[in-house]
Amino acid sequence: MSNFELFAWLVPIAPLIGCLVCAVLSFRGDTRIAHVPAIASLLISALAAVAMLFQWNAESSDTGFGLAQGYRYLEIGGVNLNLTLRIDTLCLTLLSVVTSISAMIAIYSKGYMHSDPGYARYFAVFCGFVFSMTMLVLSHNLLMMYAFWEGVGTCSYLLIGFWFRKPSAARAATKAFLVNRIADTAFLFGIMLLSYAIGFTDVGAGKDWFARLDFQTIFDAVPVIASKHGELLTLVGFLLMIGAIGKSAQFPFHVWLPDAMEGPTPVSALIHAATMVTAGVYLMARLAPLTTLTPSVLITVAWLGGITSLIAAIMALYQDDLKRVLAYSTVSQLGYLFMALGTGAVKDLMTVAVVAAMFHLVTHAFFKALLFLSAGNVMHAMGDVIDMREFSGLKRVLPKTNILFAIGAAALAGVPLLSGFFSKDGVLGVIADASSDTMVGSHFTMLLGVGFVTALLTATYTSKAYFKTFHGVEKIPAAAGHHAHEASAVMLAPMAVLAVGAVVVGGLLGPTGRISEYVSKTPLLHHHEHHEPMWLLVTSSLIAIAGVVAGYGLSRRTPSSDGLLKAVAEFGKNRLYIDWLYGRLIVEPMLWVSRLLEWFDTQVVGAITEAVAGLPRVLGLAGQRVQTGRIPSYSFLTAVGIAAVAIWIVTRANW
């Protein structure tokens, strides 16, 4: 095994070992040192991923990807399930972000979770989550990816519902699990249908159903399927798309992510910044050679991303819960990523689309993790109060958190020269390019308008949240007592690292063209020079500044009592009543059906079952009358029986 393969396996194995060690500590009830194996394993994983990132740049293979052979997990007949890792520049880009951000959040968690009785359990599930996510990214096979896709979902359920004795946390975990199961079912059907289709091509002939789903086999087979069975490939694309938008919380599956705030704040940072919700984006980017042959799928992806980004931004503008503002912000920014990926429907734009999506994914990971951890500091200091109506003017109480939150907020708002500015303009730039296409350009012209409006709303709600929290008259809730204070050094140190990333990563990767050149080395992607036009940069800058000014003004205003404005605010605060509609149109009818089935099960099926089960009892009671236990009775019956047999024999002889 080469050093490169060793590093590749070290990335997922290190957090797996950390998970097992923390699990043992949890069973032993040892809550003092659980952070040590967790943080150590995640730092090792991050260092290995970053080492591969730079090593690949120097030692890229001729094929554009490498395979780290593992072991044969299962062999049944002609089916062989091999655990093998696939490494290319697309994978390494996300892998470095996942492991680095996770390690920073784990360090922060040491301070945030130190007094929690489930300390060791928390780090065990945390490491298990990172293990599943890294294996998902490194999978060489679509079915193998699906297995770890479900592993990520299971760990997210355990993390969101970490405080399972809290009813709202248990409900949020269940909601996330069920919503994702619906999307994942479509994903699985898509995988099965794709394997079936590949089996009828020369590429898939002679291969077992698992081998057909190797990514390289898929990429070789889809042009053949597209030429002979285009409708079938489109159906596969839509099914896989449903899996992606479910995991990345896009409309109509967006409802689970804001409720995931019920878990510990570091969990929110972990899920929202660089792990679970980016899996759907990665799936669409990984399957770019397939989706580029299904333009209708990509246009649908773009529109779903546009709708999600806009409605989530509107919802965020009217939320009072600081963490919920950031949650809807995540949903909205993920919509940007899907809009970017959707531009691959235009010929020769797929590479630029993937680069734009991955660039914004990278920068978003830094400033969104920073914002969530800053919100955690606020919640920690305010006695677990996170309603912005209950506190204000915290810049004196939390001076360092104030600066860190301001950096993250400015990056999210798209303030010029920060990371978010460059990556957001990359997304808007590729949408602008797609709008000039003669075939589907009209779609992207409208989506470009959606992107600009969303950018304005993003800057507005972000700055509003910042100014309401840290500026104005100092107000501290009673729950905080008299001991509201700044976070500890172990919590602030990783936040400082994330702040540096939020400031410089965009400038280092975007204008220099480094991320474009690097990601374009992924097989079947081709490097294209792409620069945003000056008018776009100027427009984006003016929108960001206007949004910040508007957000400041809104933070100083009291809630309006005007009929129309109050109605609009209620509409946004109640999530545009989408959750309410789901409850009335889906949840309540399903509950009614379940109650009907329960009645049928107990009153009909149960009655029949009890009747069948009672038949032997009736027969037993009938026989009980002759089982008296008295010897004279048994003797009499025996004599009668013998006499009856004798009479029968004599009668038969006379005949």
Can you give the residue ranges of every domain in the chain? 1-131, 248-558, 625-655
pLDDT at 83: 87
| 140 burial type by CB count under 10 A (0-12 exposed, 13-18 middle, 19+ buried) | buried
Cite the DSSP H helix spans in 274-294. Answer: 279-286, 288-291
Residue 143: name the closest of 59, 60, 243, 70 by CA.
243
Do the Cβ atoms of 13 and 1 come closer than 8 Å?
no
Relative orientation angle of helices 119-138 and 142-160, to the nearest 10 degrees = 160
What is the per-residue pLDDT across 438-470, written as a single tens digit (0 to 9) for each? 899 999 999 999 999 999 999 999 999 999 999
CB 509 within 8 A of CB 515: yes
The CA distance from 253 to 44, in Å, is 35
Residue 360 CB contacts under 8 Å (≥ 6 apart), including other chains? 333, 336, 337, 340, 423, 424, 426, 427
Residue 477, preceding peptide bond in cis (omega within 30° of 0): no
Strand 79-87 relative to strand 66-76, pairing: antiparallel
pLDDT for the residue 78: 67
pLDDT at 58: 47
- Give the single-character DSSP code of 139: B
**Three-state secondary-structure class, residue 482:** coil
Task: State residue 275's pLDDT score.
Answer: 77
Question: What tokens were used for 596?
Answer: 């009907």
What single-letter DSSP state applies at residue 73? E
Distance between CA atoms of residues 510 and 355, nearest Å = 10
Of 197, 195, 277, residue with least CA distance to 244: 277
- C-alpha–C-alpha distance, residues 492 and 274, integer Å: 19
What per-residue confidence (pLDDT) applies to 478? 84
- pLDDT on residue 480: 78
Backbone angles phi, psi at 67, to 5 degrees: -120, 130
Give the C-alpha separation, 84 to 140, whole Å. 6
Collect all residues with Cβ–Cβ distance below 8 Å to 233 and sequence separation of at least 6: 197, 222, 225, 226, 290, 293, 294
Which residues, given as ranges, of the chain have pLDDT below 70? 1, 57-63, 77-78, 205, 527, 559-564, 624-628, 653-655
Kind and range of the H or E element at 87?
A: strand 79-87
Give pLDDT, residue 563. 62
Q: Rounded CA gap, 436 and 442, in Å?
A: 8
Count of beta carbons in the 10 Å neighbourhood of residue 368: 27
Taken as a whole, the chain contains a residue count of 655
CA angle 546, 551, 554 (to 5 degrees): 125
Say which residues have a Cβ less than 8 Å from residue 341's Cβ, sequence separation at least 6.
Answer: 281, 284, 285, 291, 298, 301, 302, 305, 353, 354, 357
Instruction: Give the pLDDT score at 261.
Output: 85
What angle, rounded to 10 degrees, do the helices at 3-28 and 119-138 form? 160
DSSP 511-544: TT-HHHHHHTTSTT---------HHHHHHHHHHH
Q: What is the CA radius of gyration of the chain?
A: 30
- The CA distance from 458 to 439, in Å, is 31
In 284-327 the beta strands, taken as DSSP E runs, fall at none
CB 65 within 8 A of CB 523: yes
